[in-house]
Chains A and B, each alone.
Chain A
């Protein structure tokens, strides 16, 4: 960093093994330029989280990760006072006056920083990944607003802490619920979808060693074809990488119907999906054919 344009950003990301499409590169570039968070939304396993990891790797900055879940609260996302330590401190100091003590126990020594505060307080720039933000309740989302807006955190006892350097923020969402307008307004929106055949082929080639061009192209096409069948859980990019590795381990050099049918369980995680794809793509497992 700093990148001069989208192509530059793309090249940087590519150099660490993440192959962005044009849109992703443009958004990453703008996010850096405008100091705005990226909200990456899309199905599971298309590389939303990987984008943040790649940005961190490409820029050499530390990655701070906040994994969201239902019930995440301030104490787990922002900061918490270390009660136990405070208590011990009070006990060792018995006999001292309260106003002396109060100043003592609400200092940074007793502060447990959680990811958001950690990202803000970090002296060197960081990449902040807020993963699966759609999992937290709407009320908790509000917690993020101050951080994303002004990159600051207010702690009543200590005052407001402002980020020394603006972190590069990536939020990911699997779109299980609509995020609040307020949150969306603060972000650059990036819809990440399954890659095109060409891009998936390139991803496979870069991630799986020893894969031939031809096989990679074939795998990408078959996977795309499977994604078109209305299955419950379409194969993600990581699953197609797994599949490529499997095929490689089996020393397959040509993907035909039988081999696909035999290894379908690597790509699909539900038996109904496997049955459906076998039927719709008219695959015959080698045992029966």
Chain B
């Protein structure tokens, strides 16, 4: 067991989950109190001791399924010839259309009734018949999953499940919607079971390590924001809100730290009267509060589409946490979008309003930093104040147009700090029409932010670099 545990923790680390020595030992301790035959119990024990971040749960589950997923297949011997007790009724024929229909019927029954045992039997059978599994073939599980789900005709299956669900439900619209959701859930359930079954076979075929390696997916925080899929974006989105909260609290931190200012002699002496003149209860003058402000300038042009969505999400999240935010979006024109993303708004709606109402395009709809920045300087001259933290997000790909660097310099001079977030890999900066180097010396910091992890690091670091630091850097 111990060696299995060390191997497992090595796999977790390889998948990017930090697992310390102590945690492995805790896991070992925990396993001594757990019934090892109870797979879910073991999973819970290991997860509680080794995974300390909800974000890593999925990667953990995948690794766990590979390592400890070999649920002893009932009648493993019988499976060799494809039939046996596990099959659906009258599963004799060699994959004719009629047999598939029967399988579908049985699946609908098992899913609707929530009969796990029966479902697993059926899934095993379906994978036997439909996956075209070939031992030793180095394809990933996804290919087999696709094949099985395709041949089962998931869409038709969903419709049939919906019929069953609807029959139970009442007449009204709400019932119909609930039934549809139930049907989708059941299809998801089926997909998970099929996936697990395929995984089990892959592990049997190719061994734990090989499978674990192919299944390793990047953690949410390592997904490239520019090329994230829809699904990944959703997951990223869920992480943005806490991050914005953190950013807001970082910016506000200075207010709270050093709440105690200078000694307030008058009030201290006044208080001391209660203790017979002993100065046991010193009173402090409150510090003067400087309210930090945040100004966001976001490039939302086509080349930035995915990233722009993400930055606007961040803007939206910050807007809900932090009152002094002004957000501007630009392509070749610039417009203020603060009110779209302010408190009490809805993100999807805000995005819609931004593209419909904000005047971001003045000419051809290609990035033009010069025009946008000059527009910013002339139309919003008072947006940036000495208290402002300015964050520009953009790839600095300017289509060989005017740079507007003098505006950036002016902003940098006026603002407390100016940070530039670039979603491109640093090695591509200043290639082609990217003019990052023009802006970089003007900013307090230029950060490559391609992943959530990098954004987090930025938020950690933004702990308000003192103004003087930049002035020194400018001189050099």
Contact = CB atoms under 8 A, between A and B. Distances in A.
A and B associate in one complex: yes
Interface of A: 5-6, 22-23, 26-27, 29-30, 33-34, 36, 39, 41-42, 70-71, 83-84, 87, 91, 175-178, 181, 184-185, 187-191, 218, 221-222, 224-225, 228, 230, 232, 254-257, 260, 270-272, 275-276, 281-283
Contacts of A27: 44, 48
B344 A270 contact: yes
Interface stretch (B169-177, B210-218, B288-296, B421-429): B169-177
B41 interface: yes
Given A36-B26, A272-B346, A41 B174 contact: no
Nearest to A184: B52
B173 A282 contact: yes
Contact of B275 (A39, A87, A177, A228): A87
Contact of A176 (B41, B57, B242, B347): B242
Contacts of A189: 47-49, 51-53
A11 to B, nearest CB: 15
B93 to A, nearest CB: 37
Given A22-B41, A34-B26, A271-B344, 8 more contacts: A5-B33, A6-B34, A6-B44, A30-B30, A30-B45, A34-B29, A71-B259, A177-B245
Contacts of A228: 181
B40 interface: yes
B246 interface: yes
B187 to A, nearest CB: 15
A26 B174 contact: no
A212 to B, nearest CB: 15
A186 B33 CA distance: 18
Nearest to A257: B174
Contact of B245 (A176, A181, A187, A272): A176
B309 interface: no
B431 to A, nearest CB: 35
Contact of A283 (B45, B174, B178): B174
Contacts of B52: 39, 181, 184-185, 187, 189
B254 interface: no
B54 interface: yes
Contacts of B40: 22-23
Interface string B452-464: 0000000000000
Contacts of A23: 40, 44, 47-48
A257 B171 CA distance: 11
Contacts of A218: 178
Nearest to B57: A191
Contact of B54 (A41, A221, A225, A271): A41
Contacts of B57: 191
B118 interface: no
11 contacts: A22-B41, A26-B45, A33-B33, A84-B275, A181-B52, A185-B22, A188-B30, A188-B49, A221-B178, A254-B170, A257-B172
Q: Nearest 9 pairs between A and B by C-beta?
A: A26-B44, A184-B52, A257-B174, A256-B172, A188-B48, A191-B54, A23-B44, A189-B52, A33-B33
Contact of B48 (A176, A190, A272, A283): A190
B209 interface: no
Given A30-B30, A281-B174, A221 B182 contact: yes
Nearest to A189: B52
Most buried by B among A84, A188, A272: A188
A184 B173 CA distance: 46
Given A34-B33, A71-B256, A177-B245, A222 B48 contact: no
Contacts of B44: 6, 22-23, 26-27
Contacts of B399: none
Given A189-B52, A281-B174, A177 B22 contact: no
A276 B45 CA distance: 39
A224 B174 CA distance: 13
A30 B174 contact: no
Contacts of B53: 184, 189
B51 to A, nearest CB: 6
A75 B117 CA distance: 57
A199 B245 CA distance: 31
B346 A177 contact: no
Interface string B243-271: 00110010000001001000000000000
Nearest to A255: B174
B10 interface: no
Contacts of B18: 181
A146 B22 CA distance: 16
Contacts of A271: 344
Interface in B28-67: 29-30, 33-35, 40-41, 44-45, 47-49, 51-54, 57
A189 B177 CA distance: 35
Nearest to B456: A178
Interface in B388-431: none
A177 B30 contact: no
A225 B177 contact: yes
Nearest to A33: B33
A222 B344 contact: no
Contact of B175 (A71, A184, A256): A256
B41 to A, nearest CB: 5
B448 interface: no
Given A22-B40, A29-B33, A30-B33, A185 B242 contact: no
B276 interface: yes
Nearest to B20: A185
B54 to A, nearest CB: 4
Contacts of B242: 175-177
Contacts of A185: 20, 22-23, 52
A1 to B, nearest CB: 14
Given A271-B344, A281-B174, A26 B23 contact: no
Contacts of B181: 221, 224-225, 228
A218 B303 CA distance: 46
Given A221-B182, A256-B170, A272 B345 contact: yes
B14 interface: no
Contacts of A34: 26, 29-30, 33
Contacts of A232: 320
Contact of B178 (A87, A178, A225): A225
B280 interface: yes
Interface in B185-235: none
Interface string B133-173: 00000000000000000000000000000000000001011
Contacts of B256: 70-71
B2 interface: no
Nearest to B175: A256
Contacts of A256: 170, 172, 174-175
A289 to B, nearest CB: 10
A157 B467 CA distance: 44
Contacts of A230: 347-348
